[in-house]
Structure 1
Amino acid sequence: MSFNITLVLCDKMLVSSSTLAAEIFKFAQSMAMATANPTRDLVVRRVSTDDLSVTTSSGFEIQPTHCLHETFRSDLIHLPAIWRNPRPIINRSKKLLDWISRQHMLNTVFTAVGTGVYFLAESGLLDNKPVTTHWHYFDQLKKSYPNVLLQRQHFTTKTGNIYCAASINAMAEIIVYHVERVFGRVIARQAQRHFFHEIRNLSHAIGYSDEEESSLTDEAIIQAKIWLQDNMSKHSPTKDLCASIGMNRRTLNRRFKSATGQSPSDYLNEVRMNFACELLQNTDLSILEVASFSGYSNQSWFSSRFKTWSGSSPGEYRKSVRSKNFST
């Protein structure tokens, strides 16, 4: 089954705010095919505000591949940033705005970057919902759409199937987050390694969500997460964790999974791997020492787990991030 991406085009759009999303997905599909990971056909379509070609902020002309009246499936619709004042573009985009509203009723995922969120706000899809945008347009957005819940302190927001990003870098993190959902975590890690200078925790891609997380209401699990972070270098911490918080393993596993969506061991693995990434990037410790500090007594087992988690060996990861840090 194919995964269908629709890129919205408009005059004065920033080209990179649109094409980068497609490039990240195309890279992920190529990596999945090359490494025999589960893959899906990827279909990328382009539509414009009035079905005509657009002229971007840098003077390039881009043609849409489809018209808004045509029937086709969109799993993800991506809205680009508009150069400078977005209001003139928004004011002449009624045809597109009606199409966006229809797509929203089909439970389609939307990603919007910078002033691209104006399309969603104008459609009424962000009323009483969290949103962010480029800092320069905070006040204008709030004045134009007083019912939106502007999150000035966050680079990314999520409300239902709508994801907003304040910048192109923040948008790229959201796109990689969706790559994981389509192609899996290993391929998403490979995409991170290719497009960013470091691997980050994918669960942190969304800065603010209006979906209340049960973990915030379970004090015991909050303490369990803190304990695992503080004691990750222990070789078998789960047993000690149960004793520390006064909970048997079965209850701990059930409540932890309910609150976080992960088992304690999976969460611990995430903590360890992210810490290992920091050590590989910022220190000259040997792989054995990185493994030990990260809670693994066996270097081979650590290397195997790291490759499963990231898609590359510890040595390959170190070489990759350092070459990006020091390249000119």
Structure 2
Amino acid sequence: MKTVSIIVPENAVPAAIVDPQYMFSAINMFYKNAGQPPFFNVQLVGLNRDIRLNNGSVSFHPDALIQDVAHTDLIIIPAISGDIEAAIAANQGFLPWIVSHHRQGAEVASLCIGAFLLAATGLLNGKTCSTHWLHAAAFKRMFPDVKMADDRVITDQNGLYTSGGANAYWNLLLYLVEKYTHREMAIMASKYFLLDTAKKSQLPFAMFKGQKNHGDDLVLAVQEYIENHFDSKISVEWLADRFGVGRRTFERRFKKNTANSIIEYIQRVRIEAAKLQLEEGQKQVNEVMYAVGYNDPKAFREVFKKYTDMSPVDYRQKYTSEVYHLGKAI
């Protein structure tokens, strides 16, 4: 029997505690229905016996405190919410415990923004990690020694697992079920929970929001100019001249403060605008391409796929609102 320890941090998202508990308990139910003993010993582990979440509206009473756990095979770190730095500070007691058990052979999986707690242990240094795309920029600033793969739904390396945003953690839970049991059990779980096992990227769901709380007025002015003139012909040289700064210094400052090169920033702003227009469904792909500043279909397709993992045509088909068309019909 494998022991799964789901920690109950302060500032945790309650669903990210309950859902893995439900998943592994369901697997035990499947084994029981097949006349076999349960496969997982599922326990909630805390720093104290009473943890109140959601401003006290939800209470958890862990099965064990960290000092009571002599052995575990898998540690689940749920998503956290609110002020991330404050959440890490409030849960410092978990960090050495997680490191200690990992060194003893336990695997560790973080769900969504739980990656911040996992990264705070130092175990991810030099490794690749995923988290919610909305918090990727903050993660890169706080943990520069960790490679952020904000397009990935799941990462797996050396017994450390991370998942992308929000419901992507269900894909990681299925992945862990398959690894610890077998493929057929994971398929049964996917059918039971109505989950898509094929999701590999969270890029189609990501919305680009440029990092702007850096305090560099010049870079902020450039960002705002790009966002207001993305449909115009813009080059790095032209922007450097317009804002009166040397190109090398300009590129270095921009990359440092936004985590994007200037070209990447222009591309991402244009693609975000293209996504919104494609979602409305009123323009054809070529019309959208011209509207956001591209005139080369091949280049537009390549850049669009780079940031969404989909072609513009596929994206339009997937995200054109059925509700919108229903409303027009009515």
TM-score band by shorter chain is 0.5 to 0.7
SS class of match (1:25): helix
Quote the Cα distance in structure 2 between the aligned partners of 1:197 and 1:112. Answer: 19
**How far does the alpha carbon of each residue in 1:202-260 deviate from its partner, in whole angstroms, 9 at most, with x for none?**
xx7699xxxxxxxxxxxxxxxxxxxxxxxxxxxxxxxxxxxxxxxxxxxxxxxxxxxxx
Shift of 1:197: 4.8
Quote the Cα distance in structure 2 between the aligned partners of 1:197 and 1:23. Answer: 14
Quote the Cα distance in structure 1 between the aligned partners of 2:37 and 2:168. Answer: 25
- Verify the 8 A CA contact 1:57 1:83 in the aligned structure 2: no
Quote the Cα distance in structure 1 between the aligned partners of 2:126 and 2:179. Answer: 27
Quote the Cα distance in structure 1 between the aligned partners of 2:44 and 2:21. Answer: 11
Q: Cα 1:103–1:205, aligned 2, differ >3 Å: closer, same or farther?
A: farther
- Verify the 8 A CA contact 2:133 2:151 in the aligned structure 1: no
Task: Find the counterpart in structure 1 of residue 51 from structure 2.
Answer: 54
- Verify the 8 A CA contact 2:133 2:165 in the aligned structure 1: no
- Verify the 8 A CA contact 1:18 1:80 in the aligned structure 2: yes
Q: 2:82 aligns with which of 81, 84, 87?
A: 84
Task: Find the counterpart in structure 2 of residue 34 from structure 1.
Answer: 33
Quote the Cα distance in structure 1 between the aligned partners of 2:95 and 2:157. Answer: 19
**How far does the alpha carbon of each residue in 1:34-53 deviate from its partner, in whole angstroms, 9 at most, with x for none?**
134x65442121122x3242
Runs of 4+ residues deviating >6 angstroms? 204-207
**How far does the alpha carbon of each residue in 1:169-200 deviate from its partner, in whole angstroms, 9 at most, with x for none?**
221111112212333222221100011255x3
Quote the Cα distance in structure 1 between the aligned partners of 2:112 and 2:3. Answer: 22
Identity value in percent: 19
SS class of match (1:45): strand
Q: Size of the alignment, in residue pairs?
A: 201
- 1:4 aligned partner, one-letter code: T
Quote the Cα distance in structure 2 between the aligned partners of 1:163 and 1:133. Answer: 11
- Verify the 8 A CA contact 2:130 2:154 in the aligned structure 1: yes
SS class of match (1:69): helix
User: Where in structure 2 are the equivalents of 1:244-283 lying within 5 Å?
Assistant: none
- 1:81 aligned partner, one-letter code: A
- 1:14 aligned partner, one-letter code: V
Task: Find the counterpart in structure 1 of residue 135 from structure 2.
Answer: 137
- Verify the 8 A CA contact 2:154 2:171 in the aligned structure 1: no
Q: Which stretches in structure 2 are left out of the alignment for 5+ residues?
A: 203-330
Which structure ranks higher in relative contact order (CA pairs < 8 Å, sequence separation ≥ 6)? 1
- 1:6 aligned partner, one-letter code: S
SS class of match (1:94): coil
Q: Cα 1:184–1:116, aligned 2, differ >3 Å: closer, same or farther?
A: same
Task: Find the counterpart in structure 2 of residue 12 from structure 1.
Answer: 11
Quote the Cα distance in structure 2 between the aligned partners of 1:197 and 1:100. Answer: 29
Quote the Cα distance in structure 2 between the aligned partners of 1:179 and 1:126. Answer: 22
Task: Find the counterpart in structure 2 of residue 118 from structure 1.
Answer: 116
Task: Find the counterpart in structure 1 of residue 284 from structure 2.
Answer: none
- Aligned CA RMSD, in angstroms, stands at 2.1
- Verify the 8 A CA contact 1:155 1:170 in the aligned structure 2: yes
User: Where in structure 2 are the equivalents of 1:134-173 lying within 5 Å?
Assistant: 134-173=132-171
Task: Find the counterpart in structure 2 of residue 244 from structure 1.
Answer: none
Task: Find the counterpart in structure 2 of residue 96 from structure 1.
Answer: 94
Quote the Cα distance in structure 2 between the aligned partners of 1:167 and 1:56. Answer: 20
Shift of 1:156: 1.7
Q: Which stretches in structure 1 are left out of the alignment for 5+ residues?
A: 208-328
- Verify the 8 A CA contact 1:6 1:45 in the aligned structure 2: yes
